[in-house]
């Protein structure tokens, strides 16, 4: 029974679920498929969908924002449009020392393509990426 036979979702710890809802729903435009408890917090968790299925488990936890690694990447067909739309919604794109970024925060990806990183209010890092 290999794990590649099953769907996978990423889980994102946040310090304040209401602040996270404002970001994930209000700025990223994600739709909550389910709302439920997180540990002892009533309505402290959300399952957000992407591309027709569940993709992110977002839950309130004291472990929020404790990694600088990219936690999830959306693979998009028009990176420029997506970055412009997210910027208009108030998303701020990260810039990293040692990488060349354009004026919007987009950088070349090793091996071709382009990507841009952003963070949620807890500092959890995400990316949008395209092959062109």
Place of tokens 């990260």: 94
Q: 132 pLDDT exceeds 90? A: no
CA distances from 84 to 25, 36, 89, 131 (A): 17, 32, 9, 17
Q: Which domains does the chain have, with CATH numbers?
A: 3-130 (3.10.180.10)
pLDDT single digits (tens) 66-103: 998 999 999 999 999 999 999 999 999 999 999 999 99
Q: In this structure, are residues 12 and 48 in contact, taking their beta carbons and an 8 Å threshold?
A: no
φ and ψ of 78, to 5 deg:
-135, 85
Residue 12's Cβ-side half-sphere holds a number of Cα atoms within 13 Å equal to 28
pLDDT single digits (tens) 101-126: 999 999 999 999 999 999 999 999 99
């Amino acid at each position: 029974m290999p794990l590649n036979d099953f769907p996978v979702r990423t889980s994102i710890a946040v310090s304040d679920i209401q602040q996270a809802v404002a970001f994930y729903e209000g700025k990223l435009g994600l739709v909550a498929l389910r709302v439920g408890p997180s540990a002892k917090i009533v309505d402290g968790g959300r399952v957000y969908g992407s591309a027709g299925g569940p993709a992110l488990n977002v839950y309130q936890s004291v472990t929020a924002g404790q990694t600088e690694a990219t936690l999830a990447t959306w693979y998009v067909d028009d990176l420029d449009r997506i970055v412009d739309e997210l910027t208009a919604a108030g998303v701020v794109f990260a810039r990293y020392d040692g990488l060349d970024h354009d004026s919007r925060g987009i950088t070349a990806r090793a091996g071709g393509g382009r990507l841009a990183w952003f963070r949620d209010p807890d500092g959890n890092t995400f990316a949008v990426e395209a092959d062109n």
